[in-house]
A and B are shown apart, each in its own frame.
Chain A
Amino acid sequence: MAAATKPNYARVGEQVFKEVEKVNAELFTLTYGAIVAQLLRDHEDVEAVNEQLEKMGYNIGLRLIEEFLARSGVPRCSDFKETAEVISKVGFKMFLGVTASVVNWDPKKNEYSLILEENPLIDFVEVPEQYQSLVYSNILCGVLRGALEMVQMSVECRFVRDVLKGDDASEIKVTLKAILAEEVPVGED
């Protein structure tokens, strides 16, 4: 009965995606590729590139959450598990045009996995041998971390399966580390 009153997130996601202004996905893919290539040229260490991608994603996430909340109008989530549904069906759809599926919900450790069958960032991409430890789509982990931090959830995200490394789908594991106390900005009451 509770499921019937919950909004149909998949439909919300599709509705919002229909309304936003769009750009060719291949341009998006190629631009991301150019960015990763630039990072690899600037840094010698692949781990540093992974970190830089995550940091860039984090900065994006901090700003992306506002647009997400403004456009989607999704009400406050009742628990961490619901954030998974909202992210996978509305968030991913709205920005990347693809949906993710939520699996392996573990209530004890408060973690779940997002499975991405399609990932617009990795079309046409092949990672060469010498960069095997590169987490190409690490920017997504950063975006999730930044966005969730702005809604008072401190999470840790990492890729456990990666299509570019030979797996059949990409899997991001999201673990809730802490609920952050809402801080009242100085000067406001």
Chain B
Amino acid sequence: MSTLSPAVQSAVQPMKPTGSYSSLEQLAAKATFTTEKKPQKPLPILSRPISKGKAEVSLSAFSFMFSEFIQYCIPRVTNTSELEKRLSEAGYTIGNRILELISFREKNYKRETKLISILTFISFTIWKLLFSKNADLLEKSTEEPDEYMITENQPLSLTKFISTPKDYQGFNCASFVAGIVEGILDAADFGARVTAHSMPLKGQKHPKTVILIKFNPDVIARSDLNP
């Protein structure tokens, strides 16, 4: 050791413990103290990575939460259309955020400019996110030029555990989904009024759900100029 140069000597000096330990317990206590992680300040929210979107929760957890929300709203509204409006508003905020998230994650910020493409985006990509399947039917109304309909033959998974009592006839829990669609369309600059309707289907016990989209006149005018 003494033949080495001072610089090298200091480098090869054996590690000295920082204190002297009278017993093994003290050493163990010291060791756990020094290996404790310094608490890290969590990253600010905008710097955190976005999840891949594969996480899932059980449908019943969602249904419980959704049903509690409806029960919370009921004493605060006076009629069914107000209740539908509340659900639709809740869905609206969700729709805004879903569009941002999906545009970033799956479409690499590509923005839809054509009417048909935003509708197919909703009936395929968004439906896949919400219901794990594509929409059954997307059609253009023959009577009104500004109306489109997305149809689901089977009861929506989000609302299938909900039964409406007799005095709430005319109320449709799918207004929540309609709100989501409206939020997406508004955020994508295709202003529309979106409502949900149930239509009885021949030969099927459950009515089919129709999401009716009525676009604003300026959107239709814009799409006529730019087909």
A21 touches B57 (CB 8 A): no
A-B contact pairs, 11 of them (CB 8 A): A21-B157, A24-B56, A26-B51, A27-B62, A28-B57, A31-B65, A34-B91, A60-B65, A96-B61, A124-B45, A168-B39
A101 is an interface residue with CB less than 8 A from chain B:
no
B130 surroundings in chain A (CB, below 8 A): 24, 27
Q: How far is the CA of A27 from the CA of B168 in the complex (A)?
A: 26
A94 is an interface residue with CB less than 8 A from chain B:
yes
Chain A contact residue count (CB 8 A cutoff): 40
B40 surroundings in chain A (CB, below 8 A): 168
Residue of A nearest to B44 (CB): A126
Residue of A nearest to B69 (CB): A35
Q: How far is the CA of A21 from the CA of B161 in the complex (A)?
A: 12
Chain B proximity mask over A120-154: 1 for CB below 8 Å, otherwise 0: 10011110000000000001000000000000000
Residue of A nearest to B128 (CB): A24
Q: How far is the CA of A23 from the CA of B76 in the complex (A)?
A: 28
B55 touches A25 (CB 8 A): yes
A168 touches B65 (CB 8 A): no
Q: Which one of B16-24, B92-100, B186-194 is at the interface?
A: B92-100
A185 is an interface residue with CB less than 8 A from chain B:
no
A33 surroundings in chain B (CB, below 8 A): 93-94
Q: How far is the CA of A26 from the CA of B62 in the complex (A)?
A: 11
Q: How many A-B residue pairs have CB under 8 A?
A: 110
A155 is an interface residue with CB less than 8 A from chain B:
no
A95 and B61 in contact, given A23-B158, A34-B94 (Cβ under 8 angstroms)? yes
B68 touches A31 (CB 8 A): no
CB distance from A17 to the nearest CB of B (A): 7
B2 is an interface residue with CB less than 8 A from chain A:
no
Chain A proximity mask over B10-41: 1 for CB below 8 Å, otherwise 0: 00000000000000000000000000000111
Question: Which 7 residue pairs of A and B lie closest in terms of their CB atoms, listed nearest first?
Answer: A25-B55, A22-B56, A34-B90, A95-B61, A21-B59, A126-B45, A30-B94
Q: How far is the CA of A56 from the CA of B75 in the complex (A)?
A: 14
B71 surroundings in chain A (CB, below 8 A): 59
CB distance from A118 to the nearest CB of B (A): 8
A residues at B contact (CB < 8 Å): 17, 20-28, 30-35, 37-39, 42, 52, 56, 59-60, 63-64, 67, 94-97, 120, 123-126, 139, 163, 166, 168
B51 touches A123 (CB 8 A): yes
CB distance from B47 to the nearest CB of A (A): 12
A37 surroundings in chain B (CB, below 8 A): 93
A34 touches B93 (CB 8 A): yes
B55 surroundings in chain A (CB, below 8 A): 24-26, 97, 120
Residue from the set B51, B60, B86, B90 with the largest chain A CB neighbour count within 10 Å: B60
Q: How far is the CA of A105 from the CA of B95 in the complex (A)?
A: 43
Chain A proximity mask over B59-95: 1 for CB below 8 Å, otherwise 0: 1111011101101100010000000001001110110
B157 touches A166 (CB 8 A): no
B58 is an interface residue with CB less than 8 A from chain A:
yes
B116 is an interface residue with CB less than 8 A from chain A:
no
A32 touches B90 (CB 8 A): no
